[in-house]
Structure 1
Amino acid sequence: MIGLVWVVVGGGGLLAIAAIALAGMHLPRFLAVTRPLAADILVVEGWIPDQAVKGVISEVLQRRYRKIVVIGPPLWKGFYLSQYKTYAELTAATLISLGISPDLVQAVPCPAVESFRTYTAACHLYRWLQQVTPAIKAINLYTYDCHARRSWLVFKRVCAPQIKVGIIAAPALNYNPRRWWQTSVGCRQVATEAIAYGHTRFFNWRA
């Protein structure tokens, strides 16, 4: 009997470990979600890496947007040396230098905050949209890798029910999502965003 119980419990433990391992392998794909909508406006989180910004070109060629709105807070580094003082302005200028028409790009800087940065950006964007394009019904949010699901959750809640939000995640550039646990940068990015998403989803979505 004891041996049978050990086999059952041990088997269950192995199944649990296998399930956790399988979930961990697919964690980046869950977090880096892409579900775009038919939308006239593409919103770009301005803090994303330059290589991810280049992906906006492909997105614009694939779907016809009436406007590209770049949001972002003041620069975290180089503020006093750069002619651009916010990530919104810096990334908007980058998109123009990459060939996107200046008439298509709009920078919408966000205020500096120590916490609630994604929530603050979403609220600032929503107010801007209501003032400038009150008839807009849907937007697509373009962000980077595993940050996508958390940003999507926050922006959807801020903009609901007036504006629907689609999401596009630029792929990871500095680690292999299928082997994310093999590098320190992969572990850091995936684990940090997984914890942050769990906190946002179950405790405080404004954080």
Structure 2
Amino acid sequence: MQSSEHHVRRPGASAEEPEKFGSHEISAFALDSPPRRFWGILTRKERWGLSGGGWLILLLTAALTIAALVSNIYPFLAATDRVASNILVVEGWVHPYAIRAAVDEYRTGHYQRVFATGGPVVGKGGYVNDFQTAASVGADLLRDGGIPSGALQMVPSRVIGRDRTYSSAVALKHWFREHDVQVRGLNIVTEGAHARRSRLLFEEALGPDVDIGVISVHSPDFDARQWWYYSEGAQEIIEEGLGYLYAKFLFYPREADLAAQTNAAVGRHGLAASAALDQSRGEWGE
């Protein structure tokens, strides 16, 4: 006949002191602690996890979210939203198809002034003179397209590198200020998915008192409604999507730095810059 031992914990005894039930000793500390292995490095704990149905719901939700994002991201980035204004701004770096769209916009929109903006032409290694900027190239294309010289003005930016759209907007702001032009609103012509970023950065540069509209011209090289089928469309969405996120959440205006860079560029190429600026002002008075 087996004997059983029942030990009752003495008053004041610690929790680690074993209690005896029969021939087994059970530690209260052991009951409260999960199993451990490898000198306590690993421990086993009970947890909740997704069932097969839970994983199915999660994957279905993720697929629907991705599908909604893919189908709506291009219309979001390539927004067209005009404001009432007689001033049209054309980003000078755009392709000829966007230049043609800008000319059509001028003819049908009752605009009085057209401004071509942009910085140094890519591949020149920096600012050389105002004629070797996207603003000058764009102005020439707009003039060739039929916009009268008297209504057309190039406003070059002399900054190359990062934040080119913002530096172009700052240059336009300074031109308005120097020529005492009061602006209440303007519309920007740009390409595809760059539109929302252009509007955001022009709003940052020109301030809340100027209404900014934007006109997005879609590339003829791919169907914007199914951009994911084309390498050009995918590249544009990735680049402009990341660019917009940077401009929205990580960009901080640095107008003072842009002014310093502009002064340095003019100092290096003073005579050429002055001649180009005089020529551009003369064209405005024609």
Q: Same fold (TM over 0.5)?
A: yes
Task: Name the count of aligned residue pairs.
Answer: 203
Letter in 1 for 2:99: V
2:78 aligns with one of 24, 32, 35 = 32
Residue matched to 1:187: 234
Q: Where does 1:105-124 land on structure 2 (aligned, <5 Å)?
A: 105-124=152-171
Q: Distance in 1 between matches of 2:62 and 2:237?
A: 21
Q: Once the two structures are superposed, what CA deviation does each residue of 1:7-64 show, in whole Å capped at 9, x if it has no partner?
A: 1342132122112122112211110011110112101100000111100122112211
**Structure possessing the higher relative contact order (Cα contacts under 8 Å, 6 or more residues apart):** 1
Letter in 1 for 2:233: G
Equivalent residues of 1:154, 1:205 under 8 A apart? no
Label 1:157 to 1:78 Cα distance change in 2 as closer, same or farther (>3 A). closer
SS at match of 2:90: strand
Letter in 2 for 1:36: R
Q: Distance in 2 between matches of 1:118 and 1:47?
A: 10
Q: Distance in 1 between matches of 2:123 and 2:161?
A: 15
Q: Where does 1:1-207 land on structure 2 (aligned, <5 Å)?
A: 5-77=51-123, 84-204=131-251, 206=253
Label 1:35 to 1:86 Cα distance change in 2 as closer, same or farther (>3 A). same
Letter in 2 for 1:33: A
Equivalent residues of 1:200, 1:206 under 8 A apart? no
Q: Distance in 2 between matches of 1:193 and 1:104?
A: 31
Larger-gyration structure (1/2)? 2
SS at match of 1:139: strand
Structure 2: 5+ residue runs without aligned partners?
Answer: 1-47, 255-286
SS at match of 1:26: helix
Q: TM-score, normalised by structure 2?
A: 0.66
Q: Which runs of 4+ in 1 moved over 4 A?
A: none
SS at match of 1:175: coil
Structure 1: 5+ residue runs without aligned partners?
Answer: none
Letter in 2 for 1:129: F
SS at match of 2:232: helix
Q: CA RMSD in A?
A: 2.2
Q: Once the two structures are superposed, what CA deviation does each residue of 1:93-149 show, in whole Å capped at 9, x if it has no partner?
A: 111111111111101111132111111111111111122243211111111110010
Q: Distance in 1 between matches of 2:64 and 2:146?
A: 48
Label 1:159 to 1:37 Cα distance change in 2 as closer, same or farther (>3 A). same
